[in-house]
Structure 1
Amino acid sequence: MNSPHRPTPDRSPKQTLRRDFAKSAVVGAIAGCSLPRISKGLHAAEKAPTRLRVAFIGVGGRGGGNLASVTKDPGVEAVAICDVDQRRLDAAQKLHPDARQYTDYRKLYEHADDIDAVVVSVPEHSHAFATMPALKLGKHVYCEKPLTHNIAESRAITLAAEQAGVATQMGTQIHANANYHRVVELIQSGAIGDVHETHVWVGRAWGLQNEAYAKQHGDIVYVTEQPSQKMKPPEFLDWDLWLGPAPWRPYHEVYFPGPKWYRWWDFGSGTMSDLGSHWNDLPFWALNLDAPLSVTADGPPPHAELAPASMSATYEYGPRGAMPACRLTWYQGALKPELWEMGKIPQWNSGALFIGSEGMLLSDYGKHLLLPEDQFQNFVPPPETLPVPVSHHQEWLDACRHGTPTGSPFSYAGPLTEANHLGNVAYRTGAPIEWDAKAMRVTNVEAANRFVSRQPRDGWKLEDL
């Protein structure tokens, strides 16, 4: 930050803490733990009973974990469960025998008078369509990451949440851990000076161009086009409902169950938008990022059907308040930052590296380092001003009841999701893109705008839900 209190470079790391940290900490708290943008006041939260009646859309896999975690709260009652997989419904019903059972979430919303809140854990391509009805009905919503399948859906959900004035949370559980909070305090207190450059990398190597990895893990998803062989859907699966708003295609085991669907553009967005929700979350929060000005991506030639295993995307951001313009580069799969390749930083499999004018900070989910380590031997960290929630789920439940903040409200998670998707837009376009966030358009390559939104399948319209 260009603070007038910034010390000269020859002072010790302890002295590099800015005297205006208290102000910075408040800004950070607002950026990372924003109150829901409530245009109608907190009347819904103020009147909410201590007991919360919650509907769960998607109750297997990640959805099963969300169901178990949310219902640990003794004040939560699972009043409705929904899944297109009858096996998962039956398993959830044994745990919650009084809950109504649905395979089509549209039917669930026709009987929503006794529902206070909704947890959405379906595959990515249906996130917006399962979330929008809840917002329109004034229900609190927890939705798994990434918030939506594309940028236009994310913008629509963000605006709908603002209008609804309810408690929202995207499922970025790592946002709630203590390590992320401490990193944000360090960056925003000026521990490493002005940050102009950030690198984020993940070791996950799922997707196209990685046949050896696929074979090693028995992954049948390594194909280069839609399978021509037709398969009959399992008896327990409603394939048409699973497809939802995505283009229709015959059932095949390369798509189902998860995470197989995750690599197909029609259903997911690959590693970029999925793990980007967790890893780009840290610089997004710490540096008060929002919409990038431009994005350039690199990797293997884009494929029409499948997301890549390895790629990179570089985002250019303008100044934000007192924070200077900065560049964020994302790497996935085999790609890593040059400093990592040269062995000049610890070679963690995944990490986020902040490069400042007075040092560097390296973090992963659970730990962080100030670098060079000898420079920071006597460093005294800033006060811990960002409160750490009991859990990501409990933070949302408390917000439903009392109108308190959440760490990843849709007002924050929406722009984060849009930025992550823009990395894929640039990659699939095959050219650098310039972004007009207000107009929600790529301004320099018209063809890129076909990746900003998509027409849902007949019978599915987001605005009709």
Structure 2
Amino acid sequence: MNPRITISSRRRFLQQSILATGASVLGFPAIVSSRSPNGKLQVGVIGSGGRGASNLKEVAQVSDIVALCDVNEKNLEYASAAHPQARKYRDYRELHTKMEDLDAVVVSTTEHTHAFAILPALRAKKHVYCEKPLTRDVHEARVVMEEAKKADVTTQMGTQMHATANYHRVVELIQSGAIGQVGEVHVWVGRSWGMQTRAEAEKNDDLFVKAGLLDYIDKMPEKGLAVPPQIDWDLWIGPAPMREYHDIYLPGPRWYRYWDFANGTMSDLGSHWNDLPFWALKLDHPKIIEASGPPPHKEIAPANMTATWTYGKRGDLAPVTMHWYQGTAVPKPIKDGILPNSVKNGVLFIGEKGMLFADYGKHTLMPEEKFKGFTPPKPFIPDSPGHQKEWIEAAMAGKKSSCDFSYSGLLTVANHLGGVAYRAGKKITWDHVAGKTDDEGANKLLTREYRAGWKL
């Protein structure tokens, strides 16, 4: 945070952003909810390594860190060295029993434990920031959304690209009608992590190749390894089925290949890349979802796959078909020669009056000659002070964040439904009111059984 930015200017940012996004003022009072005499939020951090370390660093600039938790003792001690005043926990369930002095909680665990770390905080009416994807499955996302609505607190899913100026400008162009009504969107990522052949993994420079784990690129180990002394493996497994420790799971993000802990590239990068069309086109509940790829593996998510979501009208907005491609799947815009093979990641909106291509850092209206001299709309989405800081400041002001759970929960559900359609091996129809599809096999993939001793 720029020290020259005053509290009042930050509040102006929040007031402007609420007006720009149509968010409503929450019921809790501003500022006075802070339990600190200096007016800062008192924050507990669950997961302090990896992404957690980054979130901790950002949040600590504008709040007081009073509790730290991590199943990895080394991560916990490293974070504690920077915040010696904070009490320490290995088990976040213990932290949950001692939240009286907390205003907010940051969750940066693996996604199979997100809901378990989030829900007690929401039920205690604490503000919550959670890394993407919001939950491990569809059912958990719906439960978290409902509890967040009841709690009436400030929430934010950690998809940091949502706070960037480039994403803001794309949303403004689409929503102001620069390319007319959009009926088709293509999203693709070049990352090829997951179930694939050894040859494909070597060609794609897979994460497991880099880690020296190529032997396990397409199979599970026959036996486990000794648990590193700093890891509480039982706590790390949490609600998932118990299995022996192995290097294929830790350090992160190796674990995200496995269905018991995550949903692969679809839920991970989909939180970033699908966020852009989801926001710009005001998407909500997909009607039909289908996916394709290699035969699903029982344990491992795919490196390469495609998915398609069909959305109906949303007010005056036209129905939209959104396509996802990952790994070696070739996007239709590249097959058709609209964009070159060298474009490994991107989003292409196809509208009545033209197209808009975007990636993380830039965007282009197409065909470029048609839009030569085009005057973009006056920006109406205020610049963000940073994704984590925005959440803190919104909580202090009693406002919604830009990626709060009512929005990011829907995005998470849609992404997970792409994985469900892939694993079910058939086109599915989604009934968002009933919370189920038209296929019993797919419905079984919307949730999971929890290990004994764990429940939401």
Q: Say yes or no: TM over 0.5.
A: yes
- Structure 1 residues 31 and 240, CA gap change in structure 2 (3 angstroms): farther
Shift of 1:372: 0.3
CA distance in structure 1 between the aligned counterparts of 2:405 and 2:323, rounded to whole angstroms: 24
CA offsets per residue over residues 243-297 of structure 1, 9 Å max, x none? 0011111111111111110000001110001100000000000101011001010
2:301 aligned with 1:307: yes
Structure 1 residue aligned with 2:431: 436
1:247 matches 2:241: yes
SS in 2 for 1:375: coil
TM-score (norm 1): 0.89
Give secondary structure in 2 for the equivalent of 1:198.
Answer: strand
Q: 1:164 aligns with which of 119, 127, 151?
A: 151
List aligned pairs for 1:310-349, cutoff 5 A.
310-346=304-340, 347-349=342-344
Within the candidate set 53, 56, 68, 2:42 is matched to: 53
**Inter-partner Cα distance in structure 1 for 2:358 and 2:60:** 32
1:32/1:158 CA distance change after superposition, 3 Å: farther
After TM superposition, where is structure 1 displaced by more than 6 Å over at least 4 residues in a row?
29-32
Deviations 1:404-437 (A, max 9, x none): 3311000001000000000000000001111101
Structure 1 counterpart of 2:332, one-letter code: E
Q: Give the structure 1 partner of residue 210 of structure 2.
A: 217
Which stretch of structure 1 is more off in the superposition, 226-235 or 409-418? Answer: 226-235
Structure 2 counterpart of 1:420, from 377, 390, 415: 415
Answer whether contact 1:205 1:310 (CA < 8 A) is retained: yes
Q: How does 1:273-312 map to 2 (within 5 A)?
A: 273-312=267-306
Offset at residue 46 of structure 1 (A): 5.0
Compared with structure 1, are the counterparts of its residues 127 and 56 closer, same or farther at alpha carbon in structure 2 (3 Å cutoff)?
same
Could you give the per-residue CA deviations for residues 318-369 of structure 1, whole angstroms, max 9, x where no partner exists?
0000001110001111113222134322542110000001100000111000
Aligned equivalents of 1:455, 1:321: Cα separation in 2: 38
Structure 1 contact 46–403 (Cα < 8 Å) conserved = no
Q: 1-side partners of 2:410 and 2:301: how far apart?
A: 22
1:109 CA displacement: 1.1
SS at match of 1:354: strand
Select which of 204, 228, 234 maps to 2:228: 234
CA RMSD, 1 decimal: 1.8
The aligned amino acid for 1:78 is I
1:87 aligns with 2:81: no
Summarize the Cα distance change of 1:218–1:110 in structure 2 as closer, same or farther, 3 Å threshold: closer
Gaps spanning 5+ residues in structure 2: where?
A: 1-16
* Alignment partner, residue 181 of structure 2: 194
Task: Please give the alpha-carbon distance, in whole angstroms, between the structure 1 residues aligned to 2:333 and 2:419.
Answer: 24
| TM-score between the two structures when normalised by the length of structure 2 | 0.91
Q: Which amino acid aligns with 1:154?
A: A
One-letter amino acid of the counterpart of residue 178, structure 1: A
Report the counterpart of residue 23 of structure 2 in structure 1: 35
Change (3 A) 1:171 1:399: same
Q: Distance in 1 between matches of 2:20 and 2:324?
A: 20
Q: Deviations over 1:8-38 (max 9, x none)?
A: xxxxxxxxxxxxxxxxxxxxx7798463784
Q: Distance in 1 between matches of 2:20 and 2:192?
A: 29
Distance verdict in 2 for CA 1:37–1:164, change over 3 Å = farther
Q: In the alignment, is the contact (CA less than 8 A) between 1:87 and 1:236 conserved in 2? A: yes
In the alignment, structure 1 residue 113 sits paired with structure 2 residue 100: yes
Kindly tell me: are residues 55 and 32 of structure 1, through their superposed partners in 2, closer, same or farther at Cα, counting changes over 3 Å?
A: farther
Aligned amino acid, residue 72 of structure 2: D
1:179 aligns with 2:166: yes
1:62 alignment partner, one of 42, 51, 68 = 51
Q: Residue 390 of structure 1 corresponds to which residue in structure 2?
A: 385
